[in-house]
Structure 1
Amino acid sequence: MTVPLLARRDIDFFLFDWLKAHDLPCRNRYVEHSHENFSAFLDLCEDVAARYFAPHNKKGDAEEPQFDGESVTVIPEVKQALDAFVGADLLGITMDYEVGGSQLPRTVADAGLAWFAAANVSTYAYLMLTAANANLLMAHGSAEQIESFVKPMLKGEHLGTMCLSETEAGSSLADITTRAEPAQGGCYRLFGSKMWISGGDHELSNNIVHLVLAKISGGPAGAKGISLFVVPKFVVAADGTYQRNDVTLVGLNHKMGYRGTTNTVLAFGDGAHNPGGAAGAIGYLVGEPHYGLKYMFHMMNEARLAVGMGAVALGYTGYLKSVAYAKERRQGRAAKSAGVSAAPVAIIEHADVKRMLLAQKSYVEGAMALALFCSRLVDIAQSPLSPDEGVSAELMLDVLTPVAKSWPSQWCLEANHLAIQVHGGYGYSREYDVEQHYRDNRLNAIHEGTYGIQSLDLLGRKVGQLDGAGLAVLDSAVRNTIAEAAAHGGEVGVHATALTAAWTDLLSVTEVLLVHDDLEVSLANSAIYMEAFGHIVVAWIWLQLLCVVGARDGEFFDGKRQAGSFFFRYELPKTGAQLALLRSKDRTTVDMRPTWF
């Protein structure tokens, strides 16, 4: 039985029945597009992902990139897949026409690109990072940098990275020590090292464009002194020749997942290669000095949403494979059968297997809808029908971004966990895909900031910033959905009442936590706040979906209704205990002493 990577009918339902993506061409940026070419784009993504990415997913996992001290070897299928992707004009799909992009709406683009993450997240990572790198330079780079680096990236001639973390600093970017010294010709010379750099070295492209955070000597201390630099692996001379920059691969990191993506330790300015005879890696300042962290957030926020969608895709494809397995695998007998004389049934007939599949369905479909909703906010912000609409979209997106990154990374991983369990003993073996999906997805909880960092961002910044303006926009949207659902009556009306109670409780607890009489205590359980916030937001998303389903007939819609009801009955009630704990400003974790462990 051939199992699709993603369910196309689900994607169409989210895009066209719910989000009305076919209306996006009424916005100036997207007037050249139509429902027909949106569908053709989705067809193309499904085809390219299935033909060029999925077939080497297990091979790339088993045959990791190798470093012989001089160069990195990656299996040839990776390059073939990248070439197919670029050849289909997918790399610049959302970017401006003027640089060779297609200005496709992010809502549609992200839905289509999810097939690549589902097919082979390791190979797709090279492309995701490159697109985000190019988008940052389009927003903050100079005309010369766009010409020299963005256009070659969109042709697949260069690939891109982001270089933030260091061995000692980790996620504490204020403590980075990589330094930049002004040099002749308006460039800088960089010295330092970076850790955990995905796609940091390979032979898959003519050049690698590193975006590197560093501190210019003599600048402000801490995060205020961080600047951003383009540091290419090769410096391109005026005559078009390539000269090796002083960027050295120290070694490869070997992770439990994403094994096909090179993950590197890089040294800048260690003297292995001295272009022009001077010390240091040549770097080109992006924008103004000391605004590097602000610029990098352009790429980080895009990458956060992409990581969230990647988590969705891995959870979703694992769910579909576990459903297919459960329909074929015959084991045990129905509880109401007459004993061992009855024939074994497909395990999908067992109530506990249905529970695990329903949980997966509620997680992955809710997460997919959340991710696409955020993509739609990006489209509205980029091409608003009014100034107020654009501002509201940006405010809501600010609040939802840490949720859209972290909630799928937690709960679509849980879907992968349940997919393994549905497969039984086979689920733990490498002959079946679901164990690799779990390993790959486990990394998304730490990619682009850990769960704890995202939760501190949500509670410590996003819900309170601008006097709670973003939360107020979200509040209005939630209450509009509740009113619409209440008008439906029946089961949907019951769910609307449950969401009203949970949302009101969340807002009340948020007010309590934003009173920083003791900041450490207020933020101590931010991760629990994130989990409760995310569950309630996904319940809101499910309520929107159920309003769209309405009373429509058919097994497809029956499945949506059942999954939505599962989330409201099994998942939303969990937030009550979490919010009660948060309201108490419990000190258990704060008061715990290191010597007691």
Structure 2
Amino acid sequence: MTSGLRAAIDFLLHDWLQVEALCARPRYAEHARDTFDAVLDTCERLARDKFAPHNRTVDVQEPRMEDGRVVLPACTHEAWRAYAESGMLAAAQDAGLGGMQLPYVVEAAGNAFFAAASVSISAAMLTVGNANLLLAHGTPAQRRAFALPQLAGRFAGTMCLSEPQAGSSLSDITTRAEPDGPDFEVETLGPRYRLRGAKMWISAGEHELTDNIVHLVLAKIPGPDGRLVPGVKGISLFIVPKWLVTPDGQRTERRNDVALAGLNHKCGWRGTPNTLLNFGEGRHPVTGPGVGPGLDGQGAGAVAYRVGAVGDGLRCMFHMMNEARIGVGMAATMLGMAGYLASLEYARTRLQGRPVGPAGKDPAQPPVRIIEHADVRRMLLAQKAYCEGALALELYCARLVDEQRTGEAAAAEEARLLLELLTPIAKSWPSEWCLEANSLAIQVHGGYGYTRDFPVEQYWRDNRLNMIHEGTHGIQALDLLGRKVLLEQGRALALLGRRVEATAARADAVPALAGHAAALRQAWQALLAATHAAWEGGDPVAALANAVPYLQAFGHTVIAWLWLDVALVAAGRPDAASLGRVQACRYFFHYELPRTGPWLQVVRTRDLTCATMPEEAF
């Protein structure tokens, strides 16, 4: 499987994105194509040897609770150690932080192998995101005590947002944090609080893979009257370690008041424990030297250190959330790719049926491989178009991160705007259409596809979570149509439009692609018209009633643009892989891009069929 994935990654990185050109920049001057290849070789080998063989194991041997702790299979511990020792947790960090100073796009490509091999073992995404948030918003002491141990693999990280009564509606959270005594602001690790509440759906919230777990928790600080400030403006962000630490990041033997209340049993991603955590319920009361007296003088509440200013929690947390959304998109892409490559191999070896036509009517003729049937080729080509298109999207977004970090001021600003606009697409499009690829992979396998004798049913179950992970489709759609396309008076949308037109203009000169260029321009103009029509009159209820169809149309248009850009590189090359990419582009323009018309029709007309459906009529 990895050879096909590696070929796709190499083409996109080197032939399409020209990542070796980044080595001319001071930050990446120590690197060259050889070092990038060496990193990918290591990731491919570790994924093949330490992750892939255990993908089924972690699916059937789910995490279990014993005496308030989570027990995981031994293979998970071995895989984590191998990954941490590889240096990939800090791959894109400064050398001074223990990193390799790799371009982020190379780090993302390397991590793709682990997601394809076993997505629920390779759940380091939150640890890296947690550390990156603290590097961006934490104090020097917080970075030293909590971020650096995560990048070294000694600690792991989580994000604790949702609550049992408030899933995605963060304005309704009730977890509260109160100053830990009169001197709470002089604590070395940041202003110290005592935190109480419950958090739900916390991935990797409890385990023994690392010495410590660093929880980043959203909570509200009560006002002078003891009441919580309503809405998101009252939310602050806190570090709540499982074990208390010294200022230099050494774990003590004093347990914080964070308790495992239960495990959620999921249809997929079963290798990653998904937890309900209780903070400050008194199961592990914190008292003694180095902490304050607690809310009631008895050490009640989990010790927490505030990150950033009071009320600035959601802004800080979006640093991690946006990174996680792109990570979810890559995970969805790799699950789709794994299913595609498995079904391709199956279709090349499975004998069944005979060709359509006179020759196929002779029962004495031997059966043919199912890849020779037109409908199977249709399903394989659809999978290829979805998964390689999604991979192009994720690597393009990763390349924007590098541009934002190291480009000239104007280019860095453009990268920031484009990344803001594309993040909802980078999360949502692969999680819908690479899931569809997994469904098609099951279909290619026929009856075997929905049995556990073949891996494709697990890929589908694992991928089904990604439409919900880190913000549902509906949330991403509201973000896109309600905020991102309007960003800075539509500046980001106009910038993307210029890039779309630049690709179309280049394709005009290639006879095999000129028709696609015309179709792309037409689709882009239709998208712009629907965007303006949706907001005509300024009524958000009507404008956002069909935000999800808008998201789908926007995503399909972006993928069409990227496929055309990729095809411009592949066109004219004699090898089979390049022919395959041109053909996948053709498939997307002929079979997929026309779907945008009906989606945009209900957006443009502000159709209220769904919004006005009476509840009793259901």
TM-score, shorter chain, exceeding 0.5: yes
Seen in structure 2, the aligned counterparts of structure 1 residues 193 and 38 have a Cα distance that, compared at 3 Å, is same
Aligned to 2:207: 202
Aligned to 1:375: 398
Q: CA offsets, 1:75-94, max 9 Å, x none?
A: 01101001001111111111
Seen in structure 2, the aligned counterparts of structure 1 residues 435 and 291 have a Cα distance that, compared at 3 Å, is same
Report the Cα offset of residue 144 of structure 1: 0.5
Aligned to 1:350: 373
Instruction: Kindly report which structure 2 residues correspond to 1:256-275, keeping only aligned pairs within 5 A, or say none.
Output: 256-275=267-286
Gaps of 5+ in 2: 186-191, 288-297
Distance 1:203 1:558 in 2: 48
Distance 1:516 1:124 in 2: 47
| Aligned partner (choices 13, 16, 29) of residue 14 of structure 2 | 16
Q: Which amino acid aligns with 2:261?
A: V
Instruction: Kindly report which structure 2 residues correspond to 1:387-466, keeping only aligned pairs within 5 A, or say none.
Output: 387-466=409-488
SS at match of 2:509: helix
Aligned to 1:484: 506
* TM-score between both structures, scaled by the size of structure 2: 0.94
Report the Cα offset of residue 242 of structure 1: 2.1
Aligned to 2:25: 27
SS at match of 1:591: coil
Q: Which amino acid aligns with 1:467?
A: Q
Aligned to 2:219: 214
> Is contact 1:6-1:115 (8 Å) kept?
no
Q: Which amino acid aligns with 1:442?
A: R
> Is contact 2:213-2:241 (8 Å) kept?
yes
Q: CA offsets, 1:441-489, max 9 Å, x none?
A: 000000000000000000000000210011011011001001011122x
Distance 2:6 2:245 in 1: 44
> Is contact 1:237-1:243 (8 Å) kept?
no
Report the Cα offset of residue 552 of structure 1: 1.0
Distance 1:82 1:297 in 2: 26
> Is contact 1:399-1:458 (8 Å) kept?
yes
Aligned to 1:549: 570
Identity of aligned residues (%): 52
Q: Which amino acid aligns with 2:110?
A: G
Aligned to 1:232: 241
Aligned to 2:490: 468
Q: Which amino acid aligns with 2:383?
A: Q
Distance 2:67 2:200 in 1: 17
Q: Does 1:506 align with 2:527?
A: yes
Aligned to 1:121: 119
SS at match of 1:102: coil
> Is contact 2:112-2:330 (8 Å) kept?
yes
Distance 1:508 1:470 in 2: 16
Distance 1:236 1:268 in 2: 17
> Is contact 1:6-1:317 (8 Å) kept?
no
Distance 1:574 1:503 in 2: 13
Aligned to 1:533: 554
Which moved further from structure 2: 148-157 or 388-397? 148-157
Distance 1:366 1:542 in 2: 6
| Aligned partner (choices 343, 351, 361) of residue 384 of structure 2 | 361
Q: Which amino acid aligns with 2:242?
A: K
Seen in structure 2, the aligned counterparts of structure 1 residues 267 and 240 have a Cα distance that, compared at 3 Å, is closer
Aligned to 2:252: 241
> Is contact 1:193-1:268 (8 Å) kept?
yes
Which moved further from structure 2: 387-396 or 271-280? 271-280
Distance 1:71 1:503 in 2: 52
Distance 1:349 1:484 in 2: 35
SS at match of 2:14: helix
Seen in structure 2, the aligned counterparts of structure 1 residues 114 and 329 have a Cα distance that, compared at 3 Å, is same
Distance 1:108 1:473 in 2: 25
Report the Cα offset of residue 556 of structure 1: 1.1
> Is contact 1:6-1:316 (8 Å) kept?
no
Distance 1:220 1:29 in 2: 44
Seen in structure 2, the aligned counterparts of structure 1 residues 208 and 340 have a Cα distance that, compared at 3 Å, is same
Q: CA offsets, 1:255-302, max 9 Å, x none?
A: 000001000000001011111141000000001111000000000000
> Is contact 1:546-1:560 (8 Å) kept?
yes
Aligned to 1:181: 178
Aligned to 1:165: 162
> Is contact 1:332-1:347 (8 Å) kept?
yes
Q: CA offsets, 1:543-567, max 9 Å, x none?
A: 0011111211121111111111000
Report the Cα offset of residue 252 of structure 1: 0.4
> Is contact 2:389-2:562 (8 Å) kept?
yes
Q: Which amino acid aligns with 1:227?
A: S
Q: Which amino acid aligns with 1:225?
A: G
Report the Cα offset of residue 28 of structure 1: 2.8
Instruction: Kindly report which structure 2 residues correspond to 1:516-595, keeping only aligned pairs within 5 A, or say none.
Output: 516-595=537-616
Report the Cα offset of residue 31 of structure 1: 1.8
> Is contact 1:106-1:378 (8 Å) kept?
yes
SS at match of 1:181: strand
Distance 1:516 1:530 in 2: 21
Aligned to 2:147: 150
Report the Cα offset of residue 241 of structure 1: 2.6
SS at match of 1:161: strand
Q: Does 1:192 align with 2:197?
A: yes
Distance 1:55 1:551 in 2: 39
* Dislocated runs of 4+, deviation >6 Å: none
> Is contact 1:5-1:317 (8 Å) kept?
no
Which moved further from structure 2: 318-327 or 86-95? 86-95
Distance 2:69 2:251 in 1: 23
Distance 2:220 2:598 in 1: 45
Distance 2:579 2:169 in 1: 47
Aligned to 1:73: 71
Q: Which amino acid aligns with 1:252?
A: L
> Is contact 2:571-2:579 (8 Å) kept?
no
SS at match of 2:423: helix
> Is contact 2:158-2:203 (8 Å) kept?
yes
> Is contact 2:206-2:275 (8 Å) kept?
yes
Q: Which amino acid aligns with 1:354?
A: R
Report the Cα offset of residue 29 of structure 1: 2.2
* TM-score between both structures, scaled by the size of structure 1: 0.98
SS at match of 1:546: helix
Q: Which amino acid aligns with 1:364?
A: C
Seen in structure 2, the aligned counterparts of structure 1 residues 120 and 240 have a Cα distance that, compared at 3 Å, is closer
| Aligned partner (choices 275, 283, 303) of residue 304 of structure 2 | 283
Distance 2:537 2:62 in 1: 48
Report the Cα offset of residue 516 of structure 1: 4.5
Aligned to 1:137: 134
> Is contact 1:5-1:115 (8 Å) kept?
no
Report how many aligned residue pairs link the two structures: 592
SS at match of 1:259: coil
Aligned to 1:297: 318
Gaps of 5+ in 1: none
Aligned to 1:63: 61
> Is contact 2:507-2:514 (8 Å) kept?
yes
